[in-house]
Amino acid sequence: MTPSSIHTAMVLAAGLGTRMKPLTDDRPKPMVEVGDKMLIDWVLDDIAAVGISNAIVNVHYKAELLTDHLSYRNTPAIIISDETETLLDTGGGVAAALSLFDDDVFLVTNSDALWGSGLGAAINALTAAWSNDSVDSILLLADMDKASGFDGAGDFFLENDGALTRRENKSCAPTAYAGTQLVHRRLFEGCPTGAFSFNLLWDRANHNGRLKAVLHDDDWYHVGTPEAVGPTGHVLTLNRSTV
């Protein structure tokens, strides 16, 4: 599989952005600017650059502002998944939007993560590792040594064959989920309705040997707080054309 085989991505953009206050007092978090570009436009531009033609974006907090901003984009084509009445969390948000996907395999990515060399290289890593018959999801992991702005203790131990073990009660793990995954719609078979986390689906798939991951060798920037943005925030060290 190549990135051109993926026609649709879902960009998770419905969070409340509480930790990003006061920058999110008057706008949703995906509209916070890094460099001279909004977070969501960094992600959408990278998606378009690898040939993904459609982006489903879920909206909740100050949804009208984000919807209006996205209405000016032509590439990728934007489809809004409206969560203004009920915030559905990560898994529930994608499950509620499944009817908007025409394909079985699609990309899911957060709107608050940036990569040193862009999301395109990360998408290449996922599609190169995809095996349609043997997995329901492939997660993109970041090396904790190359993760900026992430204040967790790591999420997974990764085996050579791509198999995953949770950190659980260990003090730390060497890799963190980096907010991007390649998903087959069968991952959602039998899932609950309403709000739920992707962790529910990942644990089920992992138990059945149908969850894998790839470790992406690049600098990963989790943009979660005002300090991450500037004026001296770590994202400003990002070696991209307009940052």
Would you kindly state where each structural domain of the chain is located, as residue ranges?
A: 3-237
Name the residue among 5, 100, 1 with its Cα closest to residue 52.
Answer: 5
Model-level pTM?
Answer: 0.93
Chain CA centroid to CA 96, Å: 17
Distances (CA, A) of 68 to 8, 42, 109, 151: 21, 17, 21, 32
pLDDT digits (tens, 9 = 90+) for 189-220: 999 999 999 999 999 999 999 999 999 989 89
Angle at CA 108, nearest 5°, toward 30 and 65? 25
User: If one looks up domain 3-237 in CATH, what number appears?
Assistant: 3.90.550.10
In sequence order, which residues have a C-beta less than 8 Å from that of residue 183 and are 6 or more positions away?
94, 105, 106, 107, 108, 136, 137
Measured distance CA(171)–CA(153) in Å, rounded: 7
Mean pLDDT, residues 147-152 taken together? 85
pLDDT digits (tens, 9 = 90+) for 79-138: 999 999 999 999 999 999 999 999 999 999 999 988 888 999 999 999 999 988 889 999
pLDDT digits (tens, 9 = 90+) for 156-188: 999 888 889 999 889 999 999 999 999 999 999
Measured distance CA(13)–CA(227) in Å, rounded: 20
